[in-house]
Structures are given as C-alpha cells and as structure tokens.
Amino acid sequence: REDSRMKPCAWYCELIAASVCTLLAQTPAARPAEKLQLRFGLAKFADYNPLADIDKIGAWGFDYIEPAVMQTMELSDAEFKAALAKARASKIRVEAMNMFLPGSLKVTGPSVDREKVRAYVEKALARAEALGAKVVDFGSAAARSVPAGFPREQAWRQLQEFLRDCGSHIASRKYGMVIGIEPMQKAESNIVNSIEEAWKLARDTNHPKVRIMADFYHLAVENEDPAIILEAGPYIVHCHISNPGSGRVFPRDEAENPLYAVFFRNLKRIGYSGRMSVEANTDDLESDAKAGLEFMKRMYAKYR
C-alpha cells in the first residue's frame, strides 16, 4: 500500500524534472558580456581628402573614413561614380560623413528656402547612402547660426523642422544612417554649443533618426563637464576628437589634456561601441594620422 501511494508522487516528480530539463534545453545559454569594440576613423578637416586618400588611410590602420558631404556634393555625377567605385573597392569604407551643409544654405533666420534646402539634402543623403555612411554629422556652423536680431526661439523651431525633414527622408527611403547633431564652440556657431544643448535639440525634435555627437574638441573649449556623456549616453551615435591646444591638432599624448581620460572613461561607462574620428589640422598627414590612431587605441585600451 505504501508503494502504491508513492508511485504517483514519483511519477509527478519525474514529470517536473523532465519539464525543467526541456525548458533549460530550449533557453539560450547566458552569454558572457561582450567586449566593447570602438572603431577608429579619419575625418575630413584640413586640406586632405579622405575619399581620395582612402587606400592610404586604410593602409595606415584606420577602420573607416569620414569624408565631407559638401566636398562630395561638388563632384559631377561622373566624378562621384568614380569616387564611389574607388571607395567600394577599398579595404575600408565610408562609415560617417561630416560638413553637411554649405554656409550659404541657411536653415535658420528669415531667408530660409526650405525647397532649396530639401533638394540639397535629398541629393546629399542619397550620395551618403551610396557610399555607406551610417552617421551624417550636422555641424554646419554657418548654415545653422542665428542671424543677428532673429528670435532664438524661432531659430530653435527651424532647426527642429530641418532635422525632422532629414529624419523623415531617411526613414522614407529606408536609408541606413542617422543624423548626429554636433555641438560646436561659440566661436563657430551661436547655437547648439554643448552636448547638453544638442541632446535637448534631439529630444525636442523627437525623431528616431536624429541623435547627437560627442566632440572632445568642442567639449574642452567650452569647458563642458564630461559627466554630460553619462546623462546623454543613449543619444550619442558618433564621436570626434582632437587636441584643443596648438590650433586643434592631432592628439598624441594623454598629458596634453586632463579631460582625455574622463572622456574615454565616460564613453566606456555608457557602453559606447560606435565610432570615433580624429578631426584635426595637420602639416604632415601620414605622421599625424598614425600618431592620432595610436593615441585613440591606447586610450581606449587603457580606460575600457
């Protein structure tokens, strides 16, 4: 009798054990935390042309190039086709683009020509997509700076309209990029001068294809607290870096600026694993580019 009472219990326990085993077999094993993998690029800034020099830049060890949208827009269709073929044949690719709008194409103020802006943007983004850009930087200091006497609140709304138009076009065409709002020092632009302000503009714009950048040079010049990276982290899709001393040059050594360490450490803390481009002046591109790349790799390894 005792055995007969225990059989149902044993059968039930076996059933539960089998169910647990089946569930465990169907559940993916927990994966170890993935290591961050920052990608390093060279952005257009001085007299060099990353698109023309893509093979050299790849040979120097960079992961990608960041050419200028404006420079690309100056190419004829035939010239662009040739540049595109060269880029696609290279061992590295275009993954970001800077210098979006020419200064003559205003997006704030009383004389904004939205149709002209739209026509430019559509062609520019089509070329950026063809090249494979994942981020298009919106710095464009002269284009976005607010004309004297023009209401700042209205200019802020105009920037939102412009960014929504860009985001909507990207989404409608199913392009693979986002717009990254670039904070710029007050000496270059009189609006959006900090990561905090770029973050606010992105939130006010409220479009999934509009995010922000963290540019070390502008952060340092404007004395912005790098702690803002910890707050705005989910919106940061791209980074620039250069040495603010000696005329915005390629970074070489951690001792150049005490904020380097905090910048890299905070990017690590938010789990940033996107791209970082060095964007600086140079008299010797090969020497400076190689040194800048080694600096970024060294800092990334040290503070990750």
Residue 7 pLDDT: 45
The answer to whether residue 65 scores a pLDDT higher than 70 is yes
Residue 36 pLDDT: 52
Residue 303's pLDDT band (cuts 50, 70, 90) = confident
- Specify which residues 178 forms β-bridges with: 135
166 and 197 Cβ atoms separated by less than 8 Å: no
Q: What is the pLDDT of residues 227-259, one digit of tens each?
A: 999 999 999 999 999 999 888 999 999 999 999
Q: What is the pLDDT of residues 205-219, one digit of tens each?
A: 999 999 999 999 999
Q: What is the pLDDT of residues 71-86, one digit of tens each?
A: 999 999 999 999 999 9
Q: What is the pLDDT of residues 166-186, one digit of tens each?
A: 999 999 999 999 999 999 999
159 and 202 Cβ atoms separated by less than 8 Å: no
Residue 113's pLDDT band (cuts 50, 70, 90) = very high
Judge if pTM exceeds 0.85: yes
67: left (phi over 0), alpha (psi -120 to 50) or beta: beta
Could you give the strand order of the β-sheet that contains 96-97, starting from the edge strand earlier in sequence? Answer: 93-94, 64-66, 39-43, 275-278, 236-241, 210-215, 178-181, 135-138, 96-97
Residue 190 pLDDT: 98
Residue 304 pLDDT: 65
Distance CA 102, CA 94 (A): 20
223: left (phi over 0), alpha (psi -120 to 50) or beta: left
Burial 163-175 (b: 16+ CB within 10 A, else e): bebbbebbeeeeb
The answer to whether residue 200 scores a pLDDT higher than 70 is yes
38: left (phi over 0), alpha (psi -120 to 50) or beta: beta
Residue 181 pLDDT: 99
Q: Give me the amino acid identity at 25.
A: A
> Which H, E and C letters describe the chain, residue by residue?
CHHHHHHHHHHHHHHHHHHHHHHHHHCCCCCCCCCCCCEEEEECCCCCCCCCCHHHHHHCCCCEEECEHHHHHCCCHHHHHHHHHHHHHCCCEECEEECCCCCCCCCCCCCCCHHHHHHHHHHHHHHHHHHCCCEEEECCHHHHCCCCCCCHHHHHHHHHHHHHHHHHHHHHHCCCCEEEECCCCCCCCCCCCCHHHHHHHHHHHCCCCEEEEEEHHHHHHCCCCCCHHHHHHHHEEEEEECECHHHHECCCCHHHCCHHHHHHHHHHHCCCCCEEEECCECCCHHHHHHHHHHHHHHHHHHHC
Q: Which one is predicted more confidently, 87 or 37?
A: 87
Percent share of the chain, pLDDT over 90 = 86
Q: Which one is predicted more confidently, 125 or 26?
A: 125
The answer to whether residue 140 scores a pLDDT higher than 80 is yes
Residue 21's pLDDT band (cuts 50, 70, 90) = very low
Q: What is the pLDDT of residues 143-153, one digit of tens each?
A: 999 999 999 99
Q: Which two tokens stand for residue 287?
A: 């020497």
Residue 217: name the closest of 263, 178, 177 by CA: 263
